[in-house]
Structure 1
Amino acid sequence: MYTERTSRLTGAVVWTKFPTGTGNGTGTGTGTGVRPVLPDGCMDLLWSEGRLLVAGPDTRPYAPEGPARSWAGIRFHPGTAPTLLGVPAHELRDRRVELADLWPAGRVRRLCDRVAAAPDPARALEDIALERAAEAGPPNPLLHRLVQCLDEGRPVSATAAELGLNERGLHRRCLTAFGYGPKTLARILRLRRALALARTGTPYAETAIRAGYADQPHLAREVRRLAGMPLGELLAGGG
Structure 2
Amino acid sequence: MNPTGYREYRTPGLACSWTAALPPGAEPFVQRVVPDGCVDVMWSAGGILVAGPDTGPMPSLVRPGDEVVAVRFGPGAAPPVLGVPADAIRDARLPLRELWGADADRLAEGVAAAGDRRGALVAAVRERVRPVDPLVAAVVAGLGRSTVRDVADGLGLGERQLRRRSLAAFGYGPKTLQRVLRFQRALGLARAGEPLAAVAYAAGYADQAHFAHEVRDLAGEPVRNLI
Measured against the shorter chain, the TM-score band is over 0.9
What is the deviation of 1:140?
0.5
Which stretches of structure 1, 4 residues or longer, exceed 2 Å deviation after superposition?
A: 20-23, 64-68
Match of 2:188 in 1: 196
Name the CA shift for 1:21/1:191 in 2 (closer, same or farther; >3 Å): farther
What is the deviation of 1:22?
10
The amino acid across from 1:123 in the alignment is: G
Q: Distance in 2 between matches of 1:211 and 1:132?
A: 34
Q: Distance in 1 between matches of 2:221 and 2:124?
A: 36
Match of 1:122 in 2: 118
Contact 1:115 / 1:121 at 8 angstroms: preserved in 2?
yes
Over the residues paired in the alignment, what is the CA RMSD in angstroms?
1.8
Deviations 1:167-199 (A, max 9, x none): 100000111011110000000000011111111
Match of 2:173 in 1: 181
Match of 2:18 in 1: 15
Where does 1:121-200 land on structure 2 (aligned, <5 Å)?
121-133=117-129, 137-151=130-144, 153-200=145-192
Where does 1:63-74 land on structure 2 (aligned, <5 Å)?
63-65=59-61, 67-68=63-64, 69-74=66-71
Deviations 1:100-134 (A, max 9, x none): 11122x2222112211111111111111111112x
Contact 1:50 / 1:116 at 8 angstroms: preserved in 2?
no
What is the deviation of 1:91?
0.9
Contact 1:190 / 1:212 at 8 angstroms: preserved in 2?
yes
What is the deviation of 1:35?
3.2
TM-score normalised by structure 2 residue count: 0.92
2:40 aligned with 1:44: yes
Structure 1: runs of 5 or more not aligned: 24-28
SS for the counterpart of 2:175 is: helix
Q: How many residues of Structure 1 are paired with residues of Structure 2 in the alignment?
A: 222
Match of 1:26 in 2: none
Match of 2:6 in 1: 2
What is the deviation of 1:20?
5.2
Match of 1:234 in 2: 226
TM-score normalised by structure 1 residue count: 0.88
- Given the alignment, which residue of 22, 25, 30 partners 2:28? 30
SS for the counterpart of 2:224 is: helix
Structure 2: runs of 5 or more not aligned: none
